[in-house]
Amino acid sequence: MHIMEGFLPAAHCAGWAAASAPFVVYGGWRLTRIVREHPEAKLLIAASGAYCFVLSALKIPSVTGSCSHPTGTGLGAVLFGPGVMTILGSIVLLFQALLLAHGGLTTLGANIFSMAIVGPWVAWGLFRLVRTLGGSLAVGVFLAAAFGNLATYVTTSMQLAIAFPDPVGGFTGSLVKFGTIFAFTQVPLAIIEGLLTVVAVNMLSTWGRDDLRGFSVFAGGAR
């Protein structure tokens, strides 16, 4: 994730920005609705954004033009739904590009698509599946955070492979190379992120359950 400034061709930057735009609009609508109906959730929404900002800023150099790090999007996705996490993740990515030179403005659409859209939707969908099948809260949260993280990096690998196909193997060959290099750092990071997110949700289930009741992980109503 966090493909650096100027690394993707201009046409790819425009394409990923266009693909991300509808999800950002939907996320804005979801966030506005939740804040209007549950004003008490503002602090927890902000905390979810801060969690994402801190974890995704802990970067380890990886594939040329990118890096490995936790994403932190699983927490907000299971608490408030993937739409809200799209907005929070987009804000995080914009701030990191402007303040930390982490990612870039030209690649913002691509980074939003992988970390703030694909990751949260995979996390939320997997969490709902586990809970529907009778799995425990801890298992659902762990799998959601870990696989949401991995989904982000698979998407980033695909974005890089599309932009820079291998001279011999084409898109597939490039995807295998990018994905393999990412795996050395990303698989352990995904496991760590899953465990951290379980701890965070367990704390919230103890201290903030009343604030979350009715629209969150404890009620299953968020989208």
Domain boundaries, the chain: 10-212
- Global pTM value: 0.89
Fold (CATH) for 10-212: Arp2/3 complex 21 kDa subunit ARPC3 (1.10.1760)
pLDDT in tens, 35-86: 998 888 888 899 999 999 999 888 776 655 556 789 999 999 999 999 999 9
Residue whose tokens read 């914009």: 94
Helical (H) or strand (E) element with 13: helix 10-37
Residue 221, Cβ neighbours under 10 Å: how many? 11
Question: 143-183, pLDDT tens digit by residue?
Answer: 999 999 999 989 999 999 999 998 888 999 988 888 888 78
Dihedrals phi, psi of 134, to nearest 5 degrees: 90, 10
DSSP reduced 3-state for 68: strand
- Share the mean pLDDT of the chain: 88
